[in-house]
Amino acid sequence: MRSNRFALPLLLLSLVFSTAHAQESRLLVAQKGDRSLAIVDPAAGKVLGSVAEGGVTGHEVIASRDGRTAYVPIYGNSGVGKPGTDGTKIVAIDIASQKVVGEVDFDHGVRPHCPLIGPKDGKLYVTTELDKSITIIDPKTLKIVGSIPTGQPESHMLVLSHDGRRGYTANVGPGTVSVLDIAGRKVLKVIPVSGNTQRIAISNDDRWVFTADQTKPQIAVIDTATDSVAKWIPIESEGYGGAVTPDGRWFLVALPDVNKVAVIDIKTMQVAQNISVGAYPQEVVVRPDGKTAYVSCMHSDQVAEIDLASWKVTRMIATGKETDGLAWAGQ
């Protein structure tokens, strides 16, 4: 057999490239109090840089599929349904250069908030709260290409089914969830949940949608086959942002008033354990490899890093004033 004297060097080069590429993954953190976006090296556990958003506050962030660009809706300086400024823009930030490279201008106040990348079409979807709609944007051109009515005020957060066919919005003040036909761009149903509801997540098999009751310490579990609340999960305190692990087994939800994260077993629909984190946790994001979860802790200006094998907090990362929305960029 003829040996290939280039095989080993090529293999080593490939490994070096793969390692370098893996190290490019970044944790994106909305620094609400600083009106900026923090770009965090998750391996080193430190902020590499903060990008000013233009003087108004962005609460949430999402990364492009290739991990190169962050999209930050500029919501305004108040909470849902409260008086304050009404954001009119989304800014696009190049993660490598840490610079704003573009924007979407709505030309009027819409309080844009929750951004997502469509799982099938790659479009950018964002809640435009004051218009009672979801706006659809081409991320390559930053042009608005459509909208979907939600049929409700205060449509604050959004999830999309993994097949891209359905959307679900948490409508805060009305305490409802809107079910959306994404392709048809219409409301299919409005589901009553409670007097007030916040945040929303979906199981990996698209069977369940979770939203947090803000009047009682419980999670509403919506059966997507019937589009109705099928179960209630008692929790220690009112819940907030949450995320499902990549294996589909666990739903992690922040409990701001008790500085904990509840770990819910999706098989049993019960809390398996609670994990203490920093002050006033807001949002959870899980790495694509399923090994680590990150929790934004707004009042301690940190992100808690949780090892999902041991269910232990392994590190508290200083991430800026009023740390809020999170997103993962890269592999």
**pLDDT of 23 over the 90 cut:** no
**pLDDT of 4 over the 90 cut:** no
DSSP lists the bridge partners of residue 70 as: 63, 93
**pLDDT of 15 over the 50 cut:** no
**Torsion sign across C-alpha atoms 205, 151, 228, 194:** positive
Higher pLDDT, 12 or 220: 220
Residue 9 has a pLDDT of 46
**pLDDT of 20 over the 90 cut:** no
Question: 87 pLDDT band (50/70/90 cuts)?
Answer: very high
Residue 57 has a pLDDT of 87
Residue 118 has a pLDDT of 98
Residue 17 has a pLDDT of 41
Structure token digits, residue 192: 């009553």
**pLDDT of 16 over the 80 cut:** no
Residue 331 has a pLDDT of 80
Give pLDDT tens digits for 218-249. Answer: 999 999 999 999 999 999 999 999 999 999 99
Give pLDDT tens digits for 286-321. Answer: 999 999 999 999 999 999 999 999 999 999 999 999
- Average pLDDT (76-91) is 94
Give pLDDT tens digits for 166-177. Answer: 999 999 999 999
Residue 1 has a pLDDT of 40
Residue 24 has a pLDDT of 86
* The three-state (H, E, C) secondary structure of the chain, written as one string: CCCCCCHHHHHHHHHHHHHHHHHCCEEEEEEHHHCEEEEEECCCCEEEEEEECCCCCECCCEECCCCCEEEEEECCCCCCCCCCCCCCEEEEEECCCCEEEEEEECCCCCCEEEEEECCCCCCEEEEEHHHCEEEEEECCCCEEEEEEECCCCCEEEEEECCCCCEEEEEECCCCEEEEEECCCCEEEEEEECCCCEEEEEECCCCCEEEEEECCCCEEEEEECCCCEEEEEEECCCCCCCEEECCCCCEEEEEEHHHCEEEEEECCCCEEEEEEECCCCEEEEEECCCCCEEEEEECCCCEEEEEECCCCEEEEEEECCCCEEEEEEECC
Question: 280 pLDDT band (50/70/90 cuts)?
Answer: very high
- % of the chain with per-residue pLDDT over 70: 93
Give pLDDT tens digits for 113-161. Answer: 999 999 999 999 999 999 999 999 999 999 999 999 999 999 999 999 9
- % of the chain with per-residue pLDDT over 90: 91
- Average pLDDT (14-42) is 78
Give pLDDT tens digits for 66-83. Answer: 999 999 999 999 999 999
User: Residue type at 213?
Assistant: D
Contact 91, 137 (CB under 8 A): no
**pLDDT of 18 over the 70 cut:** no
Residue 182 has a pLDDT of 98
User: Distance between alpha carbon 73 and the CA centroid of its chain, in Å?
Assistant: 12
Residue 30 has a pLDDT of 97
**pLDDT of 56 over the 90 cut:** no
Residue 55 has a pLDDT of 76
**pLDDT of 11 over the 70 cut:** no
Mean residue pLDDT across the chain:
93
User: Residue type at 231?
Assistant: K
CATH class label, 26-329: mainly beta
Q: Is the model's pTM score more than 0.75?
A: yes
